[in-house]
Amino acid sequence: MTQTVKEKFFDLLKEQSSYEEAIGLMAWDMRTKAPKKGMDNRSEVLGVLSEKVHEIQTSDKMKSYIDELKGQVEDPVLVKSLEEAEETYNKTAKIPGKEYREYVTLQSKAESMWAEAKDMNDFESFRPYLEELVEFNKRFAEYWGYKEHRYDALLHNYEPGITVSKLEEVFPRVRKALTDLLDQIKKAPNQPDPSVLEGHFPKAQQEKFSEEILKRMGYDFEAGRLDETVHPFAIGLNSNDVRVTTKYDEKDFRTAVFGTIHEGGHALYEQNIDPKLSFTPLATGTSMGIHESQSLFWENFISRRESFWQNHYELFKMNAPEKFESLPLDQFYRAINEVKPSLIRIEADELTYCLHIMVRYELEKALIGGEIEVKDLPELWNKKMEDYLGVKPEMDSEGVLQDIHWAGGDFGYFPSYALGYMYAAQIENQMSKEIDINRVIEQGDFKQVKEWLTSRIHQYGKMKKPLELLEEVTGEGLNPDYLVDYLTNKYKHIYQF
């Protein structure tokens, strides 16, 4: 039976998706289980597979299907798949295949070298890889084109519709509000006592509690798993295989507990995409910012909420060291929500988190714009951390080397974290008009919350653009005031000023 052009197009997308799933599985393995000596070979294999994806995306066959099917409107999945395939074709075709393969191979090697450099506190060993990655991204931005700032071309990869000019309207405003609030908190007389959280907390017990919370959130362990890694991440190979990773610190349980919930938020998004989008470029989150809104929603707006711990504190104490048995809930709650400027982004409190992102955004924007060089990063990083957060790294492993993103070539990614936080605040504000969130959480049943998010966000995958989705869900465009109001009200209550 002769296939239609539509069927051939979807078969080609399925072939592409299959290679991408294999690449994703190898990437997960490299960050979790793979032996060190296998990294170079694995990097070469990833390069070969990625070149194959590149060939499919830029093939004459793909172009002919797009041209022949364009204009058909009877099938919305076809229409959106064509849009995605055409944009990818136009962008990817501008990068020579050999150059793309070299870049993917470099990414894998750079990630491996970054892990070593971080462990050894040796920025100079990683610097040549980072310099190459920056130059690749500058060239790619020129290939793709932009209207105002070279960095806009990279932002578009992660957050379509967001530009430097839009960020410059929002970020300084938020930074001023947060630094002013931080000053008030530092002067507040009723400071939480974080020492009540100190002590040895076995990894196995943290894992048991984290797994139980993931289950209560609605994470499907038959379609995923929880593993340990240096830098936590979630990865969706397909909607029935979405994996969560976390990092355990036996001296501070917050790293794993809140980190696992964060990655669980990402995973719920991927697990609940409409199955009809499988094997298409639409079977993933619509943007990194919307994705981050889901992880931050669960981490901050749910699991750092007082009502969450009113319900889950007994479960926590069942898995925690004995000292927590006599710790009053109000002291525990205030302690886990302490505001304390720190050096490490993934361990940052809710209030200072966005300031960490702004440090990274400003540096990578300047790198791509050619205003600074890679060799200047450690010094510039330390200065911005001191200016914005009042802390200064003593070594690069807790400064410029702490994140994996630049090693993976993810320039343009960091702003999505702060945007995601703003999106999450808007989404929470809208949800609270329709659901009594505190009551639901106190009852320990997250089903209503999960179903609300699935029906309005998750199921659509990439069918809707990020700002379009945000406006449909909340009734307005990006508005950072919700985040500022949320943090102000929360910390005035906790710090009693």
If asked whether residues 270 and 347 sit together in one domain, one would say: yes
pLDDT in tens, 419-439: 999 999 999 999 999 999 999
Report residue 1's pLDDT band, with 50, 70 and 90 as the boundaries. Answer: low
- pLDDT tens for 252-287 read 999 999 999 999 999 999 999 999 999 999 999 999
154 within some domain? no
Q: Which of 90, 120, 150 is the last residue of a domain?
A: 120
In a domain, 461, yes or no: yes
Give the relative orientation of helices 97-120 and 5-32 as an angle to the nearest 10 degrees. 20
Mean pLDDT of 146-159: 96
Q: Are residues 170 and 107 in the same domain?
A: no
Average pLDDT value for the chain = 95
Give the C-alpha distances (Å, rounded to integers) separating 378 from 160, 392, 488: 30, 11, 32
- Binned at pLDDT 50, 70 and 90, residue 43 comes out as confident
* CB environment 450-460: b (16+ within 10 A), e (fewer): bebbbebbbbb
Q: Could you tell me if residue 66 is inside a domain? A: yes
Considering the domain architecture, whether residues 414 and 305 belong to the same structural domain is answered as: yes
Is the predicted pLDDT of residue 453 greater than 80, yes or no? yes
Q: Would you say 178 and 222 are in contact if contact means Cβ atoms under 8 Å apart?
A: no
pLDDT of residue 100: 87
For the residues 319-343, what does the mean pLDDT come to? 95
CA angle 225, 228, 234 (to 5 degrees): 55
Q: pLDDT tens across 212-233, in order?
A: 999 999 999 999 999 999 889 9
Residue 64 belongs to domain spanning: 5-120
pLDDT digits (tens, 9 = 90+) for 289-299: 999 999 999 99
Mean pLDDT value of segment 303-322: 95
Total domains in the fold of the chain = 2
Tell me what pLDDT residue 33 has: 86
The β-bridge partners of 242 are 236
Residue 101 in domain: yes
Q: Are residues 307 and 181 in the same domain?
A: yes
Residue 298 domain-assigned? yes
pLDDT score of 196 more than 80: yes
Q: Which of 223, 310, 312 has its CA nearest to residue 261?
A: 312
Note whether 419 and 159 are within 8 A (CB). yes
**Catalytic residue of the set 263, 270, 347, 364:** 263
70 and 183, same domain (yes or no) = no
What tens digit of pLDDT does each residue of 438-452 get?
A: 999 988 889 999 999
Domain of residue 273, CATH code: 1.10.1370.30
Number of H helices, E strands in the chain: 20, 3
Q: Is residue 157 part of a domain?
A: no
Reply yes or no on whether 263 is catalytic: yes
pLDDT over 90 (residue 47): no
Percent of the chain with pLDDT over 70: 100
Same domain, 463 and 335: yes
Asked whether 96 and 83 are in contact (CB, 8 A), the reply is no
82 and 230 fall within a common domain? no
Residue 98 and residue 173 in one domain: no
Residue 41 lies in a domain: yes
Same domain, 113 and 178: no
Check whether 291 is labelled as a binding-site residue: no
Residue 21 — pLDDT band, cuts 50, 70, 90?
A: very high
pLDDT of residue 39 exceeding 90, the answer is no
Q: Is 266 known as a binding-site position?
A: yes
184 and 35 share a domain? Answer: no
Residue 71 has pLDDT above 90, yes or no: no
Q: Are strands 241-246 and 234-238 parallel, antiparallel or unpaired?
A: antiparallel
Is 128 inside any structural domain? Answer: no
Do 202 and 346 fall into the same domain?
yes
Answer for the pair 419, 163: CB distance below 8 angstroms, yes or no: no
Last residue of a domain, one of 100, 120, 140: 120
Can you tell me the mean pLDDT for 465-488? 97
- List, in sequence order, every beta strand (DSSP E) within 279-407: none
Q: How far apart are CA 217 and CA 213, in angstroms?
A: 6
Answer yes or no: do 203 and 66 share one domain. no
Is residue 262 a known part of a binding site? yes
| d(C-alpha 401, C-alpha 389), whole Å | 18
Q: Answer whether 0.85 is exceeded by the pTM.
A: yes
Residue 443: predicted pLDDT: 86
What backbone phi and psi angles, to 5 degrees, belong to 410? -85, 65
Note the pLDDT tens digit of each residue in 359-373. 999 999 999 999 999
- Measured CA to CA, the distance from residue 446 to residue 460 in angstroms comes to 20
Rounded to whole angstroms, how far apart are CA atoms 313 and 329? 7
